[in-house]
Structure 1
C-alpha cells in the first residue's frame, strides 16, 4: 500500500517507516525540519515538510502523496524538558491532536483514503473499574483541572477518528514508550532516564498508579498490524504486565545504573507539578491488549517491561 505518515521523524515514526518499508509498502513521511529529510530518505521514505496546523499545507501534501492509508503520529513531545517547557510541549501536542487531526482527516477524505490510524494513549483511562481496562473503557470524564485540556484533546481525537463513515478509523491507545529514540532509553539525552539518574523523577505518594508500558519496536509493529488488518475502533497497545509505578520505576532505575528513586508525599508535589502528574502516579489504570493480539495477530518482541529493561533500552 501507499502510506502517508504524519510525524514520521518522531520516536515511533522512524520505527514505523523501517517496518513498513521492510514489508513492501511505499511510505511518504512528514517532518517539520529540513534537517531530518535525509534521515527519512535513508530509511526508505519519501520525505516531505509540512506544517500540520496549516490546513492548506496538509491538504496539499496529502493530495500529492495520494495515499491509501494515513497514519497520524503527530506530537510535540521531544527534546530536553523542564516543567515549564513540558507545559509548552503538552499545549502544542493538544493542538496537534485537535486541529491537526481535523486537518488530516479532511485531507484524507478528499483523496479517498480507506484507513486512518491515529495515536492516542492509555494514561487517562477512567479511574474506576479495577487496575486494568480493555477497549470498552472510556477516557476519564473528570480529570484534574490541569489535565483537562490534554484529556479533552485525546477524547476529540478518538471521537473524530473512529467516527468517520468513509474509512476505517482506528485509534491506538499506546502504553508508555521506552527503548531507542524515546525518553526512556540508555541513549545520551533521554529525558526521563536523565531525570532518574539525577533522582528528579520520584515515586509520588504510594506509587499505586498502574501503568502499561510498551517497547517502541512493539508499538510500531502493532501499528503496522493495524494498518494491514485493523477495523474501525480502538485498540490497546501495551505489554503483558501492567504494573504500579512503585514496582517498575525502581527496576528501571536499576537497569539505567541509577540509584533508587526517592519517595515524595503527594501533598508536597501537587503545588509544584500540579494535580495531573500526581493523579497519573497514584490513580492511573493499565490496559489489556488481548483484543489487539487476537484480532490483529500482534506478537511482542518484549512481552514485559522486565524483559525490555534488561534487553531493549538501547
Structure 2
C-alpha cells in the first residue's frame, strides 16, 4: 500500500514510519522542514517537503505520493502549561482544523481510499457518567473555557473525517502517551516535577487517566491502516487509573516522596482550572473495540510495568 504520513517527524511519526516501511508499505513522509529529509530516508520513506497549512503545498504532496491511504498525525504540542491550556494547544488546534481540511481536500481530489487521523481520548470525553468510556460516548459537551478550543478542534477533525463518504475515514483516540519522544519519557520535565515533589494530588485525585506506550500506539495505527473499518477506535492500555492511584505509584518508581494532597482551590491557583479538571474529573477509555476489531494487543498492557523512569 502507498501511504502518506503527515506529521512524520513527531513522536508518533518516528515510531510509525519505520514500522510501515518494515511491513512492506511504500511510505511517503510529509515534513515541513527540509532538514528532516535525510532521517526520513534512513527510516525507509520518501520525504516530501510541504507545509500542512498551505493547501497548495498539501495538494502537490498528495499528487506526488499518489497514496492509497493518508495518515494524519499533525500536532505541535510542546510543554503543556495547564494554567494556559488553550495557548499550549493553539498551534495543534489549527492543524486539526486547517490541516485536516487541507489533507481531506487533497485526498478527495486524488481518490484516496483510506484516511486515518489522530484524535485524543485522554482529555476529551464528557466528564459525567461512568469512569471508563467507549467509542460511542460523546466528547465533552460543556468543557471549561481553557479546554474548549482543543475539544472543538478535535470535534471538527472527527466530524470531517467520519463524514467523508468518499473514503474510509478512521479516527484513533489515543490515550496519554509515554515512552520515547513523549512528555513522559525518562528525564522529562513532567517526571522531574514528580521526582521533586512539585506535582501534588488535587482534591481526591479522582480523574481517570488512560495511558498508552507510544510504540503500542504506533502498532495499533499500523493495524488500523491495514484493516480498520470506518469509525472511531480508542487506543489505550488495559489499565485506566485515577490520579490518586497512578501518581503515587509513579512517584515511588522515581524514588520520590508520596505526593502531597492539596484542596481544589489551591490546585486552581497553581495549575489553573484545566489542571484541576485533569486531576479530578477526567474519564478513562476502553480499548475493547480496538482489540476486537484490529487484532491488536498492547505489548505494555499497563503503565505500571511499561512506564520507565530511567
**Please, what TM-score do these two structures have when normalized by structure 1?**
0.93
CA RMSD of aligned residues (A): 1.8
Contact 1:179/1:313 (8 A) holds in 2: no
Aligned equivalent of 1:120: 119
User: How far apart are the structure 1 equivalents of 2:293 and 2:264?
Assistant: 40
Aligned equivalent of 1:269: 267
Count of aligned pairs: 309
Distance 1:35 1:262, change over 3 A: farther
User: How far apart are the structure 2 equivalents of 1:207 and 1:29?
Assistant: 41
Tell me which stretches of 4 or more aligned residues in structure 1 moved more than 4 Å: 80-87
Deviations 1:29-68 (A, max 9, x none): 1223333222222111112222111111111111111111
Contact 1:143/1:276 (8 A) holds in 2: no
Contact 1:53/1:96 (8 A) holds in 2: yes
User: Which blocks of at least 5 consecutive residues in structure 1 are unaligned?
Assistant: none
Deviations 1:127-152 (A, max 9, x none): 12201111110101001111111111
User: How far apart are the structure 1 equivalents of 2:238 and 2:37?
Assistant: 36
Contact 1:178/1:313 (8 A) holds in 2: no
Deviations 1:203-261 (A, max 9, x none): 22211000100111110011111000011110011111100011112222333344433
Distance 1:82 1:138, change over 3 A: closer
Tell me whether 1:195 sits opposite 2:193 in the alignment: yes
Aligned equivalent of 2:142: 142
Give the secondary-structure state (helix, strand or coil) at the position aligned to 1:146. Answer: coil
Distance 1:195 1:229, change over 3 A: same
User: How far apart are the structure 2 equivalents of 1:191 and 1:49?
Assistant: 31
User: How far apart are the structure 2 equivalents of 1:15 and 1:42?
Assistant: 13
User: How far apart are the structure 2 equivalents of 1:161 and 1:12?
Assistant: 19
Contact 2:84/2:146 (8 A) holds in 1: no
Give the secondary-structure state (helix, strand or coil) at the position aligned to 2:296. Answer: coil
Give 1:249's match in structure 2, choosing from 247, 250, 256.
Answer: 247
Deviations 1:115-136 (A, max 9, x none): 1011111121111220111111
Aligned equivalent of 1:159: 159
Contact 1:180/1:313 (8 A) holds in 2: no
Give the secondary-structure state (helix, strand or coil) at the position aligned to 2:129. Answer: coil
User: Which blocks of at least 5 consecutive residues in structure 2 are unaligned?
Assistant: none
User: How far apart are the structure 2 equivalents of 1:197 and 1:159?
Assistant: 40
Contact 1:210/1:285 (8 A) holds in 2: yes
Distance 1:253 1:143, change over 3 A: same
Deviation at 1:274, TM superposition (A): 2.5
Aligned equivalent of 1:224: 222
Tell me whether 1:176 sits opposite 2:209 in the alignment: no
202-211 vs 229-238, greater mean Cα deviation: 202-211
**Please, what TM-score do these two structures have when normalized by structure 2?**
0.94
Deviation at 1:83, TM superposition (A): 5.7
Aligned equivalent of 1:99: 98
Distance 1:17 1:256, change over 3 A: farther
Distance 1:253 1:43, change over 3 A: farther
User: How far apart are the structure 1 equivalents of 2:210 and 2:54?
Assistant: 34
Deviations 1:10-44 (A, max 9, x none): 01111101111111011111223333222222111
Give the secondary-structure state (helix, strand or coil) at the position aligned to 1:75. Answer: coil
User: How far apart are the structure 2 equivalents of 1:246 and 1:39?
Assistant: 41
